[in-house]
Chains A and B, each alone.
Chain A
Amino acid sequence: MKPKLAFSERLITLTIRVSGYSSILFVTLILFFLVREGLPALGDVPLSSLFGARWYPIESYYGILPLITGSIIVTIGAMLVALPFGVGTAVFLSEISPVWIKNILKPVIEILAGLPSVVLGFLGIQLAAPFFRTFLNLPTGLTALTGAVLLGFIAIPTIVSIAEDALNTVPPGYRQGALAMGATQWQTIWGVTVPAARSGILTAVMLGVGRAIGETMAVMMVTGNAPVLPHGLDALFLPVRTMTATIASEMGEVAAGSAHYEVLFLIGIVLFVLSLGVNIAASSLSLRSKKRAERLLS
């Protein structure tokens, strides 16, 4: 009886270990298939075309600069919305909100986090775009601005939950010390609590940026799908096209193995590397601050 038990135990342990390692396998597989399908683009498409200013695949113009700038404009715009609202809401929740408001506000933020991006895109088309068109008197409401505002709302839950955690882990002694020295609550918040949680808040913002860069459906539906290189600051009020939206809207129509197909995978590699960078930076930042906090408190 006993050896059989040992065998099944060993089998289970092996299965669990393999499952544990599977994440590494999947990240590797994802990178492998992106590279396998996308890297040949560097040979098949001249670099002058890839780094050109025109994205017009029908005539073999594969300039990805307009798409990258499109992503950047929309992401910066999204952060201009999500930063004050996300961090502000987090500070409100952790520092001054009465419990009953917290009990309402937190589920609402969770609902916002759970809304599928296609639903936000739909609301963008139905409500936000017409609003911005009439409010700002634009020819079309499907602009970078509409995309940025929607993306901001998509990034808010990420920022709120991580920033609030960071604020909650600030030791109560910090606040008590400041209040005991005669600082008002407001001075304590901005002079002591928020600075003490700054690396956590920075992590929150970086993950928010990562969320915004990778967002696809909502952005594709409301930014007007115009892959043109912006000329000035008014680009915010014009249609743009992000990297994610380009892949999503064009991959369905291309033949597997064509140059267009390869370039779309190449854009996928760019997105993969970007999200890798943002996530590794954010996690090493939060790890470092955790170590420092342990040193300070010990």
Chain B
Amino acid sequence: MENTAHIRKVRRSQFWGFNLLRLIAALTALPVFGVIIYILIKGGAAISWEFLTAMPRDGMRAGGILPAIIGTFYLTLGTAIFSVPLGVAAGIYIAEYAPDNRVTRLIRIAIINLAGIPSVVYGLFGLGLFVLFLNFGTSILASSLTLAIMTLPVIISTTEEALRQVPNSFRVVSTSLGGTRWQTIWRITLPQAMPGVITGVILGLERAAGETAPILFTGAAFFLPRLPQSPLDATMALPYHIFVISTSVPGMPVQIQYGTVLVLLVFVLGMNLIATLIRNRARARRQW
């Protein structure tokens, strides 16, 4: 008798426990769903050809957001130019060259810390080194370099991860056929790991494209009457533009705010989607 009561109690606690976990998962996911759909609806109404291709007018309360779109494109491109070669090379070093010693452990700690440093501290660093010390001024160049260093740990870790997944037999065969270490990497290992590397690069750049704090004092401008002409010009950028129009412009039409947010989300989540597609396709095709 006592036993069945106990079993019933245990079953009841499992029933409530499972439902609690289901509720928690739902409460985590549903707001994200809801918010994305809400932005799509509210922002979609603002999207027009003019909105995407015209300069802002009336203190940004009308017209388009072209300079912010172009600026974010330039910044992402600049970040890629600096961070991709360096990050991929560093990932290759750690996966293929680094001996298991104290220096390598120090490199790992450095990467973990680079990944953890708050974005606004990167902004301070960029201001101190690139803007003032190297005298680049508030410019696309200074912002791109700052964002590039912030993006490095993501690219390094994913490159390393992708290279480590390539089976060792590939390297052994290449070496036994007389390939040097670099030939093995360049012709065999890196091409095999390429989808993983590209995924990592895109995820890193996606984060850089959406960041505001590192560009606040290194290159972002409130408003510029013309598009940037050189890497030493300051630029408008989508994330900073969202910050400005949602906090510092009185009487800002809500529709334009949602429209700008939607454009940034399409930019960022679009990159995310491409990365996911590349990863899934490579997984499906892989023969090892």
Residues of A within 8 A of B (CB): 5, 9, 12-13, 15-17, 19-24, 26-27, 29-30, 33-34, 36-37, 84-86, 88-89, 91-93, 96-97, 101, 104-105, 107-112, 114-119, 121-123, 125-127, 153, 156, 160, 184-187, 189-190, 207, 210, 213-217, 221, 244, 247-248, 251-252, 256, 264-265, 268, 271-272, 275-276, 278-280, 283
Contact = CB atoms under 8 A, between A and B. Distances in A.
A20 B98 contact: yes
A108 B91 CA distance: 28
A8 to B, nearest CB: 8
A265 B18 contact: no
A210 B18 CA distance: 30
A161 B196 CA distance: 18
Contacts of B106: 24
B124 A265 contact: yes
Given A33-B125, A111-B269, A17 B93 contact: yes
Contact of B25 (A15, A97, A252): A97
Contact of B118 (A84, A121, A126, A214): A214
B149 A119 contact: no
Interface of B: 10-11, 13-14, 17-18, 20-22, 24-25, 27-29, 31-33, 35-36, 38, 85-86, 89-90, 92-94, 97-98, 103, 106-107, 109-125, 127-129, 132-133, 149, 152-153, 156, 180-182, 206-207, 209-213, 216-217, 239-240, 242-243, 246-247, 254, 257, 261, 264-265, 268-269, 272, 276
A269 B13 CA distance: 48
| Chain A binding surface, main DSSP class | helix
Contacts of A272: 117-118, 121
Nearest to A276: B113
Contacts of A207: 116
Given A93-B25, A184-B11, A276-B116, 19 more contacts: A13-B97, A19-B86, A23-B111, A23-B152, A23-B153, A91-B21, A92-B22, A105-B29, A108-B32, A118-B212, A122-B246, A125-B246, A214-B117, A216-B119, A216-B213, A221-B246, A244-B118, A268-B120, A280-B109
A30 B117 contact: yes
Contacts of A210: 116
Contacts of A122: 242, 246, 257, 261
A184 B14 contact: yes
A127 B38 CA distance: 11
B119 to A, nearest CB: 6
A27 B112 CA distance: 10
B28 A110 contact: no
A115 B32 CA distance: 10
A16 B243 contact: no
A278 B28 contact: no
Contacts of A213: 118
A251 B33 CA distance: 35
A92 B118 contact: no
A20 B212 contact: no
B261 A119 contact: yes
A86 B24 CA distance: 9
A214 B116 contact: yes
A251 B216 contact: yes
B238 to A, nearest CB: 9
Given A34-B128, A264-B124, A271-B121, A23 B156 contact: yes
Nearest to B206: A114
A16 B92 contact: yes
Nearest to B85: A19
A27 B110 contact: yes
A251 B24 contact: no
Given A108-B32, A110-B272, A248-B213, A92 B97 contact: no
Given A29-B125, A186-B18, A118 B242 contact: yes
Contact of A34 (B103, B119, B125): B125
